[in-house]
Amino acid sequence: MTKLAILGAGRMAQVHATALIDANIGVAAIFDINRPASEALAKKLQADVAASAREAVSRKDVDGVLIVTSNDTHMENILLATNANKPVMCEKPLAATLQETLACVDALGAAATKVFLAFNRRFDVNHMALKAAINKGEIGDIEQIVITSRDPCPPPLESIKSSGGLFYEMMIHDLDMARWLLGEEFIRLNANGAALVDPAVGKMGDVDTATVSMEAASGRQVVIINSRRASYGYDQRIEVFGSKGMAISQNPRKSSLVRYSQSLSGNPDGLYDFYLDRYADSYRTELLCFVKHVQEGSDMPVNALDGLRAACLADAAKNSSVENRSIKLDTNGMEVTIS
C-alpha cells in the first residue's frame, strides 16, 4: 500500500484527507506546528504524528510527501523531501516572486520534475474535457484561446503584499492553463491592468482588473481576462478556437434548475461562490494523479519547471501593465532586453 507523509494539517489537508480515505491511500505520518491539528487529522487517517517535518519525510514507509503548509515554507519543505529522495506534491506557488522561484528551481536541479506542482485546474473535469477534445483533434489546429477568470470578491487588502498581487497569485493559474492547452511557449506579451474594483488596491501597487494578450512563435494568440470581483460568482471559462471548430469549458452551475417567470424568463441556477466548491473534484483528481506517479516513479506531469514558466509570464505581465509596453520574450520565457 502506498503511504504518504502530510506536512500541514489545515483546510487543504482536510480536503485531501477525504480523498485519501476514499481511495484507500495510506498516510504514515503527519506534521504541523499546530500539534492538536496534527493529532485530529492523524486519528482520522489512522496515521502517526511526527515530531518534525524532517522526521515525517524521512520515514522508510513514506513513499511520497504532500505539502499543504503556508506558502513561505513551501521551498524549505520541498527541499527536505527531495533531499530524502521522496516525490512531492506541493500547493502552488513554489514561491511568491520570480527571483525566489528561480532560486528554488536551481536548488532542485534534476529533482524539479519530481515535484508535483498543484495547479489544480489542470484536473478540473471541465477543463480536462476541453484538453481531451483538443487531443482528439476535434478542434483541429489551435488558433486562439480566450481565458476568462474572475473571482467572486477581492482578497483582503493585507494579503496583497505577501501574495505577490493579481499577476502572481491569480493570473498564474490562467498562464499555466494557456501553456498547458496551447502546448507552445510565448514570444510576446502585452498587459493592461487597473484598479477598477477598489482604488486602494492601486495605491498598494497592484491591480484588480487585467487583460493580457500573448503571441506564440507560430502566431497563435491567447487572451486572458481577469477580475477580482464578479458579483455573480466564480466565472472561469476557457474557449479554444481552431481550424476545425471551437470548444468552451463553460461555468458549471450549482444546480441544473432553470426558472421562467414574468420578470426573469429562463435563468439557470447560479455559479459557485467559493473555490473549494467550484473545484472540489479537481483536488481529488490531482491527488490521485500524484499518487499514481509516485507508484510509477515517473516524472510529474505538472512540476516545478511549469511553476517557473508561469512565474516568468506573470512577471512579464506585471511589467507590461506598469510600464505600458508590449514585452518580447526569449525562449526561456525571460524578457528580451532590447524590446
Q: How far is the CB of 49 from its own copies (least distance, A)?
A: 18
How far apart, in whole angstroms, are the C-alpha atoms of residue 145 and residue 183?
A: 12
Q: Taking the CA of residue 222 as centre, how many other CA atoms within 13 Å lie in the half-sphere pointing to its CB?
A: 27
Burial zone of 231 (CB within 10 Å; 0-12 exposed, 13-18 middle, 19+ buried): exposed
240: which strand partners? 145, 247
- 200 binds its own copies, rule: CB under 8 A: no
Map grid coordinates 493529532 to a residue.
Answer: 39
Q: Interacting stretch for its own copies, rule CB under 8 A, among 88-96, 113-121, 159-167, 266-274?
A: 266-274
Q: Count CB neighbours of 32 within 10 A.
A: 24
Q: How far is the CB of 253 from its own copies (least distance, A)?
A: 7
Show the binding pattern over residues 53-92: x = contacts its own copies (CB under 8 A), - = does not.
----------------------------------------
Beta strands 267-268; 209-216: pairing state:
unpaired
Q: Interacting stretch for its own copies, rule CB under 8 A, among 77-85, 170-178, 221-229, 330-338?
A: 221-229
Q: Interacting stretch for its own copies, rule CB under 8 A, among 2-10, 59-67, 86-94, 240-248?
A: 240-248
- 155 binds its own copies, rule: CB under 8 A: no
Count of residues touching its own copies (by CB under 8 A): 79
Least Cα distance to 310 among 192, 169, 143, 207 occurs for: 169
- 210 binds its own copies, rule: CB under 8 A: yes
The answer to whether the Cα torsion of 202, 153, 261, 267 is positive or negative is: positive
Q: Give the H or E element holding residue 105.
A: helix 98-108
Q: Which of 83, 159, 324, 332 binds its own copies (CB under 8 A)?
A: 324
- 137 binds its own copies, rule: CB under 8 A: no
Show the binding pattern over residues 10-49: x = contacts its own copies (CB under 8 A), - = does not.
--------x--xx-x-------------------x-x---
- 241 binds its own copies, rule: CB under 8 A: yes
> Interface residues for its own copies in 175-194 (CB under 8 A)?
188, 190, 192, 194
What is the three-class DSSP state of 207?
A: coil
- 109 binds its own copies, rule: CB under 8 A: no
Q: Give the H or E element holding residue 28.
A: strand 26-31
How far apart, in whole angstroms, are the C-alpha atoms of residue 92 and residue 180?
A: 16
CB under 8 Å to 162, separation ≥6 — which residues?
Answer: 71, 72, 96
- 100 binds its own copies, rule: CB under 8 A: no
Least Cα distance to 2 among 63, 50, 60, 85 occurs for: 63
- 290 binds its own copies, rule: CB under 8 A: no
Q: Which of 38, 58, 82, 148 binds its own copies (CB under 8 A)?
A: 148
* Pair 7, 75: CB distance under 8 Å: no
Q: Which of 250, 295, 298, 332 binds its own copies (CB under 8 A)?
A: 250
- Assigned C-alpha cell, 222: 491567447
- 138 binds its own copies, rule: CB under 8 A: yes
Q: How far is the CB of 78 from its own copies (least distance, A)?
A: 29
Q: How far is the CB of 110 from its own copies (least distance, A)?
A: 36
